[in-house]
Amino acid sequence: MKRVCSKLVLALLGAGAGTAWGGEVLSVENAYGPAAVERLGTRITLKSGDKLAERDLVSVGAGGGLSLTFASHGFVELGPNSEIAIEKLPFASYADDLQTIFSLTRGYLRVVWERPSQSGRWPLFVYFGGEHAALNPGEYFFDQQSGVARACVAAGRLSVLLKDGGELQDLRPSACYRFLAGLPPERAARDSSGWIAVRRGFNIDAPTSLEAMLAANDAGGDVPAPEPAAAAQAPSAPVAAIAPTPAPPVKPVARAAPPAPSVLPPTAAASIPAAAASAPVQALAPPSPPPGGSGAWGVNIASYPAQADAEQHARQLQAAGYAATVQQALVRSQTWFRVQLRGYASADAARAAAAELEARFSYRGLWVNKTGAAAAAAP
């Protein structure tokens, strides 16, 4: 974002000048693959626990991902080949001026935000593709690729000031919008159940089919995403000015499961025997947990609404030498049956198993997390 544009918008918003250190407001939770910050002419590789500051330029390379904790009241995610400039950031959550501005220069940005209750007003803005968006508490996705700017509202309410001026555009939940010069934003409605595929894939166009949802189901965890708010609720109320008005908080939803950005192909779960028979696996030893393994880490392979389908998939993996199990979980008030490998002693051991599964059976996007001991009930 050019500084002249930033100064113009800051003037319109009544923002003051100055530089603030935001180390207590924005910090790195997880970094996957190439992720770095340019600060005062120096490029620094990012790692968990690093603090970010106003005027930092944050970038993620191909195959990477970055998750940032935002003021302990939400988080920010960047997908592969993404870059944001931190235009404005308060030095702490108790600062007099809490205004925050992120500028997405390329790639994918996700913001999940719950305004802190002790703050009467925390203006939060995202610049993308020349547009300027004001965010109420909620969940939002932004994308800037090949000169095309898009924004999605999973929950909450966006007001957008277009780069060619004119009236504010109020963007409604459960939809994505494309911005073309001289035209109103193009709106494409989206089934609210499909957001999990977007979170999983760092891709606003991620499919919303049942098959894609089965493959990406576990990526959102067991915390339900907020549904579009009713008209009488504050996050869905029309925004009269570019600065968000105080509203009750929206509970942040679960992060996408890192680090793999893609989802399992719909056909993979049904083709394990053929894949196992044709793959060159003679030199590979199955990384099954040892009998009675008590490690708390596991690999999530797939999820099914029908227990019989999950058990069939598990049997196929068992026949290939893997100690697959089926665990029951409640997601979005629906029962799912997860095919898992459990009992690994560390996250690295589970990731090694996931990598071998992907290489051996052409899986994509397997999710590693804490599942509990192999012999224990699923959390």
The reply to whether 338 falls in a domain is: yes
Same domain for 79 and 150:
yes
Give the pLDDT of residue 42.
Answer: 94
Same domain for 281 and 227:
no
Q: Comparing 324 with 214, which gets the higher pLDDT? A: 324
Q: Which two tokens stand for residue 71?
A: 């003021």
Q: Which two tokens stand for residue 359?
A: 């290489």
Q: Which two tokens stand for residue 34?
A: 């190439």
User: What pLDDT, in 10s, does the model give residues 345-356?
Assistant: 888 888 888 888
Same domain for 218 and 272:
no
Give the pLDDT of residue 304.
Answer: 79
How far is residue 54's CA from residue 60's CA, in Å, rounded to a whole number? 18
User: Torsions phi, psi of 213, nearest 5?
Assistant: -70, -40
* Final residue in a domain of this structure, among 186, 220, 236: 236
Give the pLDDT of residue 291.
Answer: 54
Give the pLDDT of residue 263.
Answer: 31
Q: Comparing 59 with 214, which gets the higher pLDDT? A: 59
Give the pLDDT of residue 120.
Answer: 62
As a whole number, the mean pLDDT across the chain is 73
The reply to whether 376 falls in a domain is: no
User: What pLDDT, in 10s, does the model give residues 236-289?
Assistant: 222 223 333 344 444 455 565 444 333 333 333 333 333 333 333 334 455 666
Looking at residue 344, which CATH number applies to its domain?
3.30.70.1070
Give the pLDDT of residue 332.
Answer: 62
The DSSP secondary structure of 123-160, one letter per residue, reads -EEEEETTEEEEE-SEEEEEEEETTEEEEEEEES-EEE
Is the pTM higher than 0.75? The answer reads no
**156: domain range?**
3-236
Same domain for 332 and 232:
no
Q: How far is CA 256 from the centre of its chain?
A: 4
Same domain for 297 and 148:
no
Same domain for 231 and 313:
no
147 pLDDT band, cuts 50/70/90, is confident
User: What pLDDT, in 10s, does the model give residues 27-77?
Assistant: 999 898 899 999 988 999 999 999 999 999 999 999 889 999 998 888 999
Once rounded to an integer, what is the mean pLDDT over residues 217-245?
32
84 pLDDT band, cuts 50/70/90, is very high
Give the pLDDT of residue 82.
Answer: 96
How far is residue 149's CA from residue 208's CA, in Å, rounded to a whole number? 21
Task: Decide if 364 contacts 358 (C-beta within 8 A).
Answer: yes
365-199-120 Cα angle (round to 5): 150
Give the pLDDT of residue 293.
Answer: 65
Once rounded to an integer, what is the mean pLDDT over residues 199-212?
71
Same domain for 283 and 196:
no
Same domain for 295 and 193:
no
Same domain for 195 and 295:
no
Give the pLDDT of residue 76.
Answer: 95
Same domain for 282 and 179:
no
User: What pLDDT, in 10s, does the model give residues 97-108?
Assistant: 899 999 999 999
* Final residue in a domain of this structure, among 236, 257, 280: 236
221-141-303 Cα angle (round to 5): 25
The reply to whether 253 falls in a domain is: no
The reply to whether 263 falls in a domain is: no
Positive/negative CA dihedral, 76, 192, 246, 141: positive
| Three-class DSSP category at 89 | coil
Of 176, 110, 112, 121, which is closest to residue 149 (Cα–Cα)?
Answer: 176
Tally the domains of the chain. 2
User: Is the pLDDT assigned to residue 110 strictly greater than 90?
Assistant: yes
How far is residue 286's CA from residue 15's CA, in Å, rounded to a whole number? 59
Same domain for 334 and 218:
no
The reply to whether 288 falls in a domain is: yes
How far is residue 330's CA from residue 218's CA, in Å, rounded to a whole number? 10
Give the pLDDT of residue 355.
Answer: 85
Burial class (CB in 10 A: 0-12, 13-18, 19+), 365: buried
The reply to whether 255 falls in a domain is: no
The reply to whether 252 falls in a domain is: no
Of 60, 18, 20, 59, which is closest to residue 38 (Cα–Cα)?
Answer: 59
The reply to whether 136 falls in a domain is: yes
Same domain for 176 and 61:
yes
Looking at residue 63, which CATH number applies to its domain?
2.60.120.1440
Give the DSSP H or E segment for 329. strand 324-331
